[in-house]
A and B are shown apart, each in its own frame.
Chain A
């Protein structure tokens, strides 16, 4: 377990953070989820919310417990018993056709790939959901093939349509709402990724997997007009 031991830093009277100095991995996420659960059970009255980062757990406290008590507890869980990660894979239909993929041709060219190869590389992998952030319902995903890593645009687009699937840096993601953004747009999903009227407002959870499934423009239109909900297997 060397390297998987986090450091705990108290930042303000209501914020502290656990940090792991290791590479992002499924194993690390498994440990983060286990530690999160243990903390939430032990300090149910003191903790407002624990938020996952790629290598951190950010803890928002009503009140931070006595540091000695906290340190003792954290020492006990440095090597937690972890549950296996979720086996759910959500299938996300994505239309990669030109109308929805304005940056795909240029990105494929820069990568010396055909558009079809780029789509294949993007859609044959599955991606792990680590946490939500950036925008309501935006999933931080890990697992983009290195071949597709691509620096963000120097000048961000002023408006990216909700459902747009994009690549930025070492990540791929889906814009859940219309937003400005600096990632390369390679397709669009007809699904809804955030519903403020529902609780929880998102259908997936950290630890789940997602995969992208290429669809035609016709399929996109018919799914868009139906109340199609994503499914997992």
Chain B
């Protein structure tokens, strides 16, 4: 099998396009955020279809307007948010495998459902990992967000792949659900019952203050808890600030914090909330304990 180096060029992009994999797992002890794809579920699906390693780096796209040119044939795969995708000006599906030929131009228009699009590529991107990850993070793996003119390497076998006869469906029903599963965080136990009830009953609105570090929710919750001694926080930790704001930490979040951690979202819920847009509402379904007999 030929695997020659090739490049794609960013012809146009909004903010928030970056390369992500599972992130820097196990480097939090040095103060390094985990980073990685916000929606691991969609990222895994993309790599699975491409027969890549499940941790292969993908492009995470969070704004319409991205336009990419490929200089050599390859196969790519899309999943995550549903958007208007054009290949050389022709409208194409926004999920599944796509064959790419010499000089093909791929363009992303409006996002219709969800918030983050994932673009994987056969054999992955040619990027030297830093601390076991190709995920961009300022000061660690530079060029945080891709900009116009940037190039990213990949591998080509010089031949446009034949369309796959297998029809696959990327089911986005889970993105429509407003129920986000969460576990009780370490400081949940100190909340008064009335606040606990409020957390379970309130429809929280995703605010405009949302990025790869955190998603802030609009509705305020009374906070009677004191700040605590600094402790570890993780993607999915939900902090209650002294002003009563809820902050859902995401993949580029700091690794320690002093605000009470009242909820903890598991990976699937992080993927779920990552696909929510500002103005959409969510409801926390708070799980108490879990079954150890099941694999997780």
Q: In the complex, are the beta carbons of A133 and B186 less than 8 A apart?
A: no
Quick one: given A58-B232, A132-B29, are A196 and B130 in contact (CB under 8 Å)? yes
Q: How far is the CB of A20 from chain B (nearest CB, A)?
A: 10
Return chain A residues, CB-CB under 8 Å to B94.
Answer: none
Any B CB within 8 A of the CB of A56:
yes
Mark contacts of A174-214 with chain B using CB atoms, 8 A cut-off: 1 yes-contact digit, 0 otherwise: 00110000000000000000101101111000000000000
Task: Identify which of B30, B184, B234 contacts A136 (C-beta below 8 A).
Answer: B30
Quick one: given A133-B256, A201-B30, are A9 and B186 in contact (CB under 8 Å)? yes
Task: Identify which of B130, B186, B296 contacts A13 (C-beta below 8 A).
Answer: B296
B interface: dominant SS: loop
Q: In the complex, are the beta carbons of B30 and A14 less than 8 A apart?
A: no
Q: In the complex, are the beta carbons of A202 and B230 less than 8 A apart?
A: no
Chain B positions 120-134 with a Cβ under 8 Å from a chain A Cβ: 130-131
Any B CB within 8 A of the CB of A67:
yes
Any B CB within 8 A of the CB of A137:
yes
Chain A positions 1-32 with a Cβ under 8 Å from a chain B Cβ: 9, 11-15, 17, 19, 24
Interface size counted on chain A using CB atoms at 8 A: 42
Q: In the complex, are the beta carbons of B229 and A54 less than 8 A apart?
A: yes
Any B CB within 8 A of the CB of A78:
no
Q: Which of A45-53, A80-88, A117-125 contacts B (4 or more CB under 8 A)?
A: A45-53
Given A51-B256, A136-B32, 19 more contacts at CB 8 Å? A9-B186, A12-B236, A12-B264, A13-B296, A14-B266, A17-B231, A49-B26, A51-B28, A53-B232, A54-B231, A63-B296, A133-B230, A134-B254, A134-B255, A136-B31, A138-B31, A196-B130, A201-B32, A201-B131
26 A–B contacts, CB within 8 A, in A order: A11-B183, A11-B184, A12-B265, A12-B290, A14-B266, A17-B186, A48-B26, A49-B29, A50-B29, A51-B29, A51-B255, A52-B29, A53-B229, A54-B230, A55-B229, A63-B295, A63-B296, A132-B29, A132-B30, A132-B31, A133-B254, A134-B254, A135-B31, A136-B30, A136-B32, A201-B32
Instruction: Identify the A interface with B (CB < 8 A).
Output: 9, 11-15, 17, 19, 24, 48-56, 58, 60, 63-64, 66-67, 131-138, 140, 176-177, 194, 196-197, 199-202
